[in-house]
Amino acid sequence: MINGKHYKIVEESKGTVADSSAKQVKKKKHIPPTDSTFVLNNKKLKYYNSWLTAGAGIQQNITYKRKYGFAGGVDFNFHLSHHYFQLGTVITGEKFGSYDNYNFHLGYGKRFEDKDIHAAAFVGISYSSGYAKVDSTGRYERHYKEPGLYIEGQVVKKLTYDVGVGVSVFGDYNQEQGIVGGRFIIYFSGAYQGKNNTQYRGR
């Protein structure tokens, strides 16, 4: 009672803004199960799939400032649960058939894929073995074995959902040397799971 008048005391709720925010349910990003499949042109395709790339191109040794040379390689790209990994090899040299560096690498990456495009990027560790040129003789005599860092990016235009052609750019750095390059690659994925039921034909 104040000045003869009755007033009702109402407690002010604490943390009104916080409570209001807490009530707003955030939508969780939907992650498909690893065994998810879908149908495209009456083909049953796997959402999470492994793929193989192989190709050849050019490379530049940025440590020894050599002229452009040959680079060839094969990569097996696979997933464990929802995570993508890469296991591969790259051979480089002054020209095709004459190689002085052999690289093996293992990396972790991210992937984007739709019915027309595949793109992926990986970063990881490498192990390189080869022969360095001895300036006084001009021959490759000094043998080296070095761990290093390897990065690679892939962009592929699909011809069908599981076959395509594209480019790969890569870089390998260790205590012996740094090499960067690019390759034209062919792409094969393990997405195809066979023909679907005829009721989906034409969709």
Tens of pLDDT, residues 62-114: 998 778 999 999 999 999 989 999 999 999 998 999 899 999 999 999 999 99
179 neighbors 62 (Cβ within 8 angstroms): yes
Tens of pLDDT, residues 106-134: 999 999 999 999 999 999 999 999 988 77
* pLDDT value of residue 66: 77
| 3-state secondary structure (DSSP) of residue 5 | strand
pLDDT exceeds cutoff 50 at 196: yes
Lookup result for tokens 């000045």: 3
Buried/exposed 5-28: b ≥16 CB within 10 Å, e otherwise: eeeeeeeeeeeeeeeeeeeeeeee
CATH number of this structure's domain 37-194: 2.40.160.20
126 neighbors 147 (Cβ within 8 angstroms): yes
User: Domain residues of the chain, as ranges?
Assistant: 37-194
Tens of pLDDT, residues 135-181: 666 677 789 999 999 999 999 999 999 999 999 999 999 999 999 99
